[in-house]
Amino acid sequence: MEPTIRHVARRAHTSVSTVSRVLTGSGPVAEATRNRVLEAIEELGYKPNALARGLVRRRTGTIGVVIPDVANPFYAEVLRGMSDVASGQGLHMLLVNADLSFAKEAEGFALLQEKQVDGIVYTSGVITDGHRDIFHRLGRPVVLAATYDPDGTFPSVLVDSRAGAIMAMTHLLELGHRRIGVINGPEQDAVAGGPRWEGFRQAAAAWGVGLDPELVRTGDYRLESGYRAMERLLADPHPPTAVVAASDLMAIGAMNAALDRGVRIPDDLSVVGFDNIWFSSAVRPALTTVAQPMYDIGAKALHMLIEAVAGRTQPVVNWIQPYMVERASTAPFRC
């Protein structure tokens, strides 16, 4: 039978509570008594349980994760990367869904602090002064996943969105498209919307192609906003022959709007998304997209947090490169 804390107490001729104080360092213990307890532990081969080991290190073995939208499949894959690393390290995760609300984020951070998590991974939302204030008050390491801190205060894992947008636009230009519609995220979004819009424009300019302002629409990365944006693009007297969207959900929404109006994809309209969420390959036609290595983002962020909890310095931004996945939703321009 495995020795327990009670066995240690009997061997050391002291109480269980005294052994616990020795293990956790949570109270005064006479030096002679402490030595007897340590000797008893060694003689019996006693191994403290996970909770006791955590208390000795002043850690709980629990990581907090805050995500903006649990319904978005992007975060499911990011979480899978985190979960696999956490499981391999014997850590537990507590998840907070902010539902795109700063107030809910603040409530979630308070809950995670109450649960005494060892550290927190915050995903995707734009970092504001309000976030920095909360992060500092938490008093524990914070790592950002799929976002970054423009002030460079907190370490992050981030995909190069500008490079990915250049890939997406260049793919359509190489196929011969010139009248290209854009469904972007909010330009003031420094994480995705701004860099992707910069990439779209940079690629078009490199080809000597101007983007018609009438063919540029803004969404919120969700399916419904892509559908509404595509309705407006198709209402233009000279609709685009191709559309690039700043998220797969918006791209799929755009495809649905086009198909509902008898527009054939890719015969009449080519569509490119951004993310490579799992069902981008399940829709028909399968969506051409720029892939973010979502699993890698989550796994890398969790590894960085583990290092940060251990007191080791992390890089300000750990960049991950996207790549192009060509499927059936794009085809060469047809006059």
pLDDT at 50 > cutoff 50: no
How far apart (Å, rounded) are the C-alpha atoms in residues 79 and 35?
45
Q: Tell me what pLDDT residue 58 has.
A: 59
pLDDT in tens, 77-93: 999 999 999 988 888 99
| C-alpha distances out from residue 116 to 12, 57, 139, 231, Å | 32, 13, 10, 48
How far apart (Å, rounded) are the C-alpha atoms in residues 1 and 21?
24
Residue of 159 and 72 predicted with greater confidence: 159
Q: What are phi and psi of 241, to 5 degrees?
A: -95, -10
The pLDDT confidence band at residue 56, using thresholds 50, 70 and 90, is very low
pLDDT in tens, 140-157: 999 999 998 988 889 999
Cβ within 8 Å of residue 156, ≥6 positions away: 143, 144, 145, 147, 148, 149, 301, 316, 317, 318
Instruction: Give the ranges where 145-293 is alpha helix by DSSP (H).
Output: 161-174, 193-206, 223-234, 248-260
Sheet of 142-145: strand order equals 92-97, 62-67, 119-123, 142-145, 156-159, 317-320
The pLDDT confidence band at residue 14, using thresholds 50, 70 and 90, is very high
Mean pLDDT of 111-121: 93
pLDDT at 321 > cutoff 90: yes
Comparing 43-47, 106-110, 201-205, 321-325, the range with the smallest average pLDDT is 43-47
Residue of 125 and 101 predicted with greater confidence: 101
| C-alpha distances out from residue 104 to 88, 113, 118, Å | 30, 14, 21
Mean pLDDT of 122-133: 87
From the list 85, 139, 64, 69, the residue with the least C-alpha distance to 296 is 85
From the list 9, 16, 7, 22, the residue with the least C-alpha distance to 56 is 22
**DSSP states along 147-181:** ---TTS-S-EEEE-HHHHHHHHHHHHHHTT--SEE
Q: Which residue is listed with tokens 């996943």?
A: 145
Share of residues in the chain with pLDDT > 70 (%): 95
The pLDDT confidence band at residue 55, using thresholds 50, 70 and 90, is very low
pLDDT in tens, 199-209: 999 999 999 99
CB 193 within 8 A of CB 200: no
From the list 332, 139, 114, 106, the residue with the least C-alpha distance to 241 is 332
How far apart (Å, rounded) are the C-alpha atoms in residues 181 and 162?
17
The pTM for the full model equals 0.77
Q: Which residue is listed with tokens 């051409």?
A: 288
pLDDT in tens, 214-250: 999 999 999 999 999 999 999 999 999 999 999 999 9
Dihedral sign of CA atoms 250, 218, 301, 93 in order: negative
Q: Tell me what pLDDT residue 89 has.
A: 85
Comparing 48-52, 156-160, 272-276, the range with the smallest average pLDDT is 48-52
How far apart (Å, rounded) are the C-alpha atoms in residues 57 and 334?
66
Share of residues in the chain with pLDDT > 90 (%): 65
How far apart (Å, rounded) are the C-alpha atoms in residues 303 and 142?
12
Mean pLDDT, the chain, integer = 90
